[in-house]
Structure 1
Amino acid sequence: LIEFFRKIKKWLEMAKLPQLYLEKVKTLERKFEVISVIFKKYRREFSTIFQLQDGDVSDGMGGATGVGGARGGSTSRPRSRKPTR
């Protein structure tokens, strides 16, 4: 994703788009960085709450698939609770 943000900023400069677009991309980049730090800090807790689907990225934030995995949706699914009898 770092490469994505670098390339999108360069494209914005080449396309000579208004400064507003660059500001929006920078805001998006900062928000992603914050979410990434929070996820890494609480990774163990997330793994106890959510089950990772087969083939998902182990840390949920890196690799070619990015946050959403290859399918683009959530990388995890809430655990279903079994009814108690």
Structure 2
Amino acid sequence: MPADLEHPHPAVNATRARQGRWGKHVFWVLVISTVLAAAALFGAWGLRSGDIARVEHTRGATTTQEAEHYSTGQAPVKQTPSS
């Protein structure tokens, strides 16, 4: 499209020309997309909530004797001589 040289227009610097307009349509796009993202997040969370509730817990030691079976003895710290 050819430039319209007959009608004067205000001079705008490059930074201002690259900026987008902030209007109501931009606001509503942001609001609607945020609401949809939140709905998708909570929807996925709701669909997987049954799987989260069915986690099998590991059975730990129930008596002192069983707990002692899993303990390891303390060993002195090994140091390497400096060169």
Name the TM-score class by shorter chain: 0.3 to 0.5
Higher alpha-carbon Rg: 2
TM-score by length of 2: 0.34
TM-score by length of 1: 0.33
> Greater relative contact order (Cα 8 A, min sep 6): structure 1 or 2?
1
